[in-house]
Structure 1
């Protein structure tokens, strides 16, 4: 029972960090493909992805279907348009298209990469704060 309460206490920040990490990979992929003809910049809607992940992690939520054979379709659907956890990958809006069809805008990508990295660091600090608060609560003499 204690593990469940600790999981509940840490769940939000853990889920947010996981999504931030996945988003950082997507943005890094955009940057790496800045010179690839016809590459379309991708991103995730962090707010809706976090909400969906929290709903999925809710112990009172409906169970999801699991596959039992290789020919079964995964639930949620996975493919080029989703991350491994089922988070949909969206196309970033075109600010200024290139002649070769590439939609990566390096200024946008660098800004998004830096913003996401700062928010990831803030998430790490939040988890550290939670751990320090738990340690302070179990120290003798408090």
Structure 2
């Protein structure tokens, strides 16, 4: 009987990628905290997960026919974040404290998904080996 990774891994195979994309987005916000006019962006996790589960993707261009085709799924949940602090006069809407908290929360959830996936693979390995 063949193993269905979609059934075996469940939603966590998608959450890892979405969490990684969210970490990149939050990191960009933190890096742009002093850039005048920069508008903080956030990810709608539900929209990004729906896109990841449905298989929506954006293909990446290949410069050589021998390159492996790749795609990314997680751009549909990105939106501008509503400012949580008064305008400082430069038009930047990044709240560094909020971004750091969001980054830490995201990393904790990302690690939980990785741990869960690791245990799933460990259990599948045990099932295959019969021990």
Aligned pair 1:112/2:111, yes or no?
no
What is the TM-score normalised by the length of structure 2?
0.78
Q: Structure 1, residues 79-108: CA drift from partner, whole Å, max 9, x if none? A: xxxxx5342421111111221000000110
Q: Distance in 2 between matches of 1:88 and 1:115?
A: 18
The normalised TM-score by structure 1 is 0.72
Task: Tell me the number of residue pairs that the alignment of Structure 1 and Structure 2 aligns.
Answer: 116
Q: Once superposed, what is the RMSD of the aligned Cα atoms?
A: 2.2
In the alignment, is residue 138 of structure 1 matched against residue 125 of structure 2? no
Do 2:26 and 2:42's aligned partners in 1 also have CA atoms closer than 8 Å?
A: yes
In structure 2, the partner of 1:14 is 13
Q: Please list every run of 5 or more consecutive structure 1 residues that lacks an aligned counterpart in the other structure.
A: 58-63, 67-83
Q: Which residue of 1 aligns with 2:26?
A: 27
Structure with greater strand share of residues: 2
Q: Is the 8 A contact 2:43 2:77 kept in 1?
A: yes
SS in 2 for 1:90: strand
Deviations 1:30-52 (A, max 9, x none): 00000000000001111221123
